[in-house]
Amino acid sequence: MNSAAQASYTLGELAERIEARLVGDANLRVSGLATLTDAGPGDLAFLANRAYLKYLADTRASAVLVHPAHGEACPCPRLELENPYLGYARLSHLFDPLANQPSRGVHPAATVSPQASLGAHVEVGANCVIEAGVEIADDCVIGAGSFIGADTRIGRGSRLHANVTLYHGVTVGERAILHSGCVIGGDGFGFAHDGQRWEKIAQLGGVTLGDDVEVGSCSSIDRGALGDTVIGNGVKIDSQVQIAHNVQIGDHSALAGCVGIAGSTKVGRHCLLGGGVGLSGHLTLADGVQITGMSLVTNSILEPGVYSSGTGSMSNSQWRKNAVRFKQLDEIAKRLTRLERDMRDS
């Protein structure tokens, strides 16, 4: 059986898959995807950003996926689509070497509890540990070295890459992708202070991930203190993201790298959080909120829109001057208030 990496498709087949308009030979075969500058014979390239239009005329690709507005400038057969980047995303799965690999079953070096339930065509890699009460649905892949704690459930078609850790009582929906080093269901940061030292609060909730969720490498999603931490359907989480206990994230939101969300904050549906964004605890973000990179959010946002905080980069000398002025703002505001009052009274 050929792997996905060796597969080839006719332009006619690809056009039908993404409902694109084909201009050229429908029987021309391509066996890979590449950028305009790197493509060679046998490759399908794509143009999704006008900044790269200058490379179109000289591409060596056998065919190009383009917007109809750029079709006439294409020197080779083409697939025309209103959203070529979306078309590229859908076609990329056809050439993924991990796709369509036959299941290799349970590796002899894996430890699987007899009280665990594994569905059909489940692959379990070397040195995995699967505890009692675990339920893994059909067509799942559990990468080498992964740990799945007691009473955890994993939905159909999900993939855990190597060295993923799922604590006890975690629920993962269908078609999830969890990348190496991510930890789902660790204890939330819950402590009570007696005036001298910290007393740990047992974290009694769990974590629920919806369908089609992706979690990047080395990201952490903490279990709830009482109820579950809940990640909605279609949520995409980048690498090195920290999600604290009892956070709720609505369907189809996306979090870029190094986002940090404090406990019990609720993020709406279709929200976008840029890299390094920090959300304080117990906040609410409405549906459709976009936070630009490195922003700190300390109050709830109840209307959709784009929000930012902080200052853009500048020379250090200019920043030092501004830092002094920032410290003077309170006094300036008080002086302005007095001046306005004096003007009213005069």
Active site residues: 245
Q: Are 67 and 85 in contact (CB under 8 A)?
A: no
Output the six-digit token pair for 261. 């969300």
Distance CA 12, CA 131 (A): 48
Contact (CB, 8 A) for 268 and 249: no
**CB hemisphere CA count around 260 (13 angstroms):** 10
Residue 319, C-beta contacts closer than 8 angstroms, at least 6 positions apart? 311
How far is residue 71's CA from residue 59's CA, in Å, rounded to a whole number? Answer: 14
HSE (side-chain half, CA atoms, 13 Å) at 25: 9
Listed residue (204, 158, 202, 203) closest to 182, CA to CA: 158
**266 three-class SS:** strand
Radius of gyration of the chain (CA): 26
Structure token digits, residue 317: 């000398």
Q: Give strand pairing partners of 306.
A: 290
Which residue matches tokens 């980048």? Answer: 238
Spatial CA neighbour of 125 closest among 114, 137, 112: 112
Q: Are 283 and 267 in contact (CB under 8 A)?
A: no
Q: How many residues does the chain have?
A: 346
Pairing mode, strands 289-291 and 198-200:
unpaired
Which bin fits 48, alpha (ψ -120 to 50), beta or left (φ > 0)? alpha
What residue type is 123 in one-letter code? Answer: E
